[in-house]
Amino acid sequence: MKVDVVLGLQWGDEGKGKIVDVLARNYPVICRFQGGPNAGHSLQFSGKSFVLHSVPAGVFRKNTVNLIGNGVVLDPVIFRQECLDIAKMGVNPTENIIISKRAHLILPTHRIMDAASEASLGKAKIGSTLKGITPTYTDKTARKGLRVGDVLAGDFSKKYNSLTQRHLLLLKQYGFQYQRGKIKNEAASMEFNLKDLEAEWAEAVDFLKKFRIADLEYEIDSLLKTKKALAEGAQGTMLDVEFGAYPFVTSSSTICAGACTGLGIAPSKIGKVFGVFKAYCTRVGSGPFPTELSDAVGEEIRQKGHEFGATTGRPRRTGWLDLPALKYAIMIDGVTDLIMMKADVLDTFDTIKIAVGYKVGGKKTDKVPFDPDTKVEPVYKEFKGWKKDLTKCKSAEDLPAAFKRYIAFIEKELGVRISYVSVGPDRSQTIKL
């Protein structure tokens, strides 16, 4: 059987968590394949809401198995808290989550290094979620990292201490000194109580041992003999380490190919590729955003769309839909089905704009530039708003004609069918077209 993939096509927070929860009804296996607790995936059903960071969004569906793949970086402390919160919802996570031995561990010092690196960049900072993502992936590619499977070995403490010592040396270069259990940088007014962080981490590592820690690539191969799987991307294609506006990216492969390397499946196993996008754009953190609205319209989208980070609470930057960026993501990911989220946020707008191209140096283009400093001017097409409450629509027949014209235009421009529209945060507010 195939692995279908759900991917964010923009800068993250497209609504992947909601859609995976909706689709999970039809998939007995759900897998995360990259990223870590920088992700915040919101779900809402039966009057309850939940934000997941490391656990796949199939966890609340009966009879699903939820896999955390080798491409993921896992912070045991955040994972433990998340599992305790899931248990309060009446689900036993130790029964339906399996973790790859090859997933890398986020250490307390990785988080401190993330903070030190961002502080050292000043105004040029990336706007990281400070969850230790970059230092952990750096150790992975530098072949220095610790993996989940290592926690089961007798020499785990030795390996942990050796990596932490290395981090303390690196932190010195950022002006951080280690003294009596604390890591301090007086010039930057930053202090971390490493001893406390380590105690919490050790407790969380013990908790991790309650889960099935497996050779997940074999496990998936065997599951796929009889079951179909859904892979849940984190972040978005425009934050990909290769194809995003480098260096304003995350440190993992957020594209479709990342599902293969992050789970250990062959490209021929990939089935449908669901590309998730909002009817407008948002971005958290620094980096280019051609259609950004720094005016009252942008603020209206932020307020109506509750555009504040699910992980950090930071206000998200907002702007109009960007078709050149979407076309780029569709090309890289091989999207077969589009899913449009949050059009209801635009319900009251008289006019709605879509960027259909860019102007760079006075010349028209529809290509995403290499250099993040390139000055890009969007070329807009304006639409009349539909001025109807989409959240009340239950089926395709209920959707207003002006909205149907709007999505037909997007489909034509992108050359891919929109299979679902989401008209509210709840599981039930999803329309199959």
**Which of ligand IMO, ligand GDP, Mg ion, none has residue 250 at its interface (CB below 5 to 8 Å by kind)?**
ligand IMO
371 noted as active-site residue: no
For residue 396, the SS3 value is helix
Interface characters, 1-40, with ligand GDP (x: CB under 6 A): -------x---xxxxxxx---------------------x
The residue among 71 and 149 lying less far from ligand IMO, judged by its C-beta, is 71
**For residues 340-399, which are near ligand GDP according to CB under 6 A?**
341-342, 344-345
How many amino acids of this chain bind ligand GDP (CB under 6 A)? 22
DSSP for residue 287? S
DSSP assignment of 152-181: GSTTHHHHHHHHHHHHHHHHHHTT-EEETT
Where in 167-316 does DSSP place strands (E)?
A: 177-179, 182-185, 190-193, 212-214, 229-232, 270-278, 280-283
Q: Of 73 and 107, which has the nearer Cβ to ligand GDP?
A: 73
Residue 403's binding partner among ligand IMO, Mg ion, ligand GDP, none (Cβ under 5 to 8 angstroms by kind) is none
Residue from 69, 149, 285, 305 binding ligand IMO (CB under 6 A)? 285
Residue 126 binds which of Mg ion, ligand IMO, ligand GDP, none (CB < 5-8 A, kind-dependent): ligand IMO
Query: Do you know the residue count of the chain?
Result: 433
What residues does 415 pair with on adjacent strands? Answer: none
Site string for ligand GDP, 251-290 (x = CB under 6 A): ----------------------------------------
Stretch that binds ligand IMO, among 64-72, 233-241, 331-339, 358-366 (CB under 6 A): 233-241
Indicate the residue among 129 and 164 with the shorter CB distance to Mg ion: 129
Helix and strand numbers, DSSP H then E, in the chain: 12, 22
Sites for Mg ion among residues 325-384 (CB under 5 A): none
38 binds ligand IMO (CB under 6 A): yes
Alpha carbons 119 and 122: distance in angstroms, whole number: 6
**293 by DSSP, 3-state: which?**
coil
Nearer Cβ to ligand GDP, position 99 or 345?
345
Phi and psi at residue 199, to the nearest 5°: -65, -45
d(C-alpha 206, C-alpha 76), whole Å: 9
For ligand IMO, the closer CB: 171 or 234: 234
H helix or E strand, kind and range, residue 248: none
Among 34, 136, 164, 235, interactor with ligand IMO by CB under 6 A: 235
Interaction of residue 134 with ligand IMO, rule CB under 6 A: yes
> Token match 């196993």: residue?
269
Binding mask 37-76 vs Mg ion (x if CB under 5 A, - otherwise)?
A: ---x------------------------------------
Q: Can residue 131 be called a binding residue for ligand IMO (CB under 6 A)? A: yes
The DSSP symbol for 239 reads: G
Among 20, 234, 263, 390, binds ligand IMO (CB under 6 A): 234
* Closest alpha carbon to 221 in 72, 69, 53, 24: 69
Q: What is the largest CA-CA distance in the chain?
A: 67
Rounded CA-CA distance 81/79 in Å is: 6
Judged by CB, which is closer to ligand IMO: 8, or 305? 8
| First-residue to last-residue Cα distance in the chain | 25
With beta carbons less than 8 A apart as the criterion, state whether 392 and 428 touch. no
- Crossing angle for the helix pair 401-414 and 323-333, to the nearest 10 degrees: 50
Given a contact cutoff of 8 angstroms between Cβ atoms, the answer to whether 276 and 6 are in contact is: yes
Residues forming beta bridges with residue 52, ordered by sequence position: 41
Beta strands (DSSP E) in 63-189 are 65-68, 73-74, 97-100, 104-105, 177-179, 182-185
Q: Which of residues 173-212 bind ligand IMO (CB under 6 A)?
A: none
Q: 41 catalytic, yes or no?
A: yes
State the nearest-atom distance from the C-beta of 12 to Mg ion, in Å: 6
The residues that touch ligand GDP, with contacts defined as CB under 6 A, are 8, 12-18, 40-42, 44, 306, 310, 341-342, 344-345, 422-425
The residues that touch ligand IMO, with contacts defined as CB under 6 A, are 8, 11-13, 38-41, 126-129, 131, 133-134, 234-236, 239, 250, 284-285, 310
The residues that touch Mg ion, with contacts defined as CB under 5 A, are 13, 40, 310
Residues designated catalytic: 13, 41
